[in-house]
Amino acid sequence: MSLYLRYPMKPLVVRLLSVALVLAAMVYGGDGISLRYRSWRHEDVFGSVSVTSVYVIHEKNGKTEYQYNSPQDQVCVRSLFPHFGYSPCWYVSRHTEKQIDI
């Protein structure tokens, strides 16, 4: 009886995963189409966020030294997902400190 109960779940799980994948692709595609349409209408689709680079230097004696650079503007795109090789502005504005390990 337990084999009978497990077998119908597999097609259901596959179907749900495929529906979720199709919905995610539709949202990503719709976001890209919306971005291209706004760009075509000459709306400002790019933004700029000030990001500070922090060099994390691991020394031989086990200590860690931090060196801060002056803030630089980073180009971002005003959308839900990354497009045109740029990160979305909502993500960049939440990560204004970029750590670089040395």
- Name the pLDDT band for 102 (thresholds 50, 70, 90): confident
Longest distance between any two alpha carbons in the chain, whole Å: 67
pLDDT of 2 over the 70 cut: no
Q: How does pLDDT run across 84-97, given as a tens digit for each residue? A: 999 999 999 999 99
> Rounded distance, CA 89 to CA 81, Å?
9
Higher pLDDT, 60 or 11: 60
pLDDT of 6 over the 80 cut: no
> Rounded distance, CA 54 to CA 97, Å?
7
How deeply is 6 buried, as exposed, middle or buried, from its count of CB atoms within 10 A (0-12, 13-18, 19+)?
exposed
Q: Please tell me whether the overall predicted TM-score, pTM, comes out greater than 0.85 for this model.
A: no
> Rounded distance, CA 92 to CA 81, Å?
12
pLDDT of 10 over the 80 cut: no
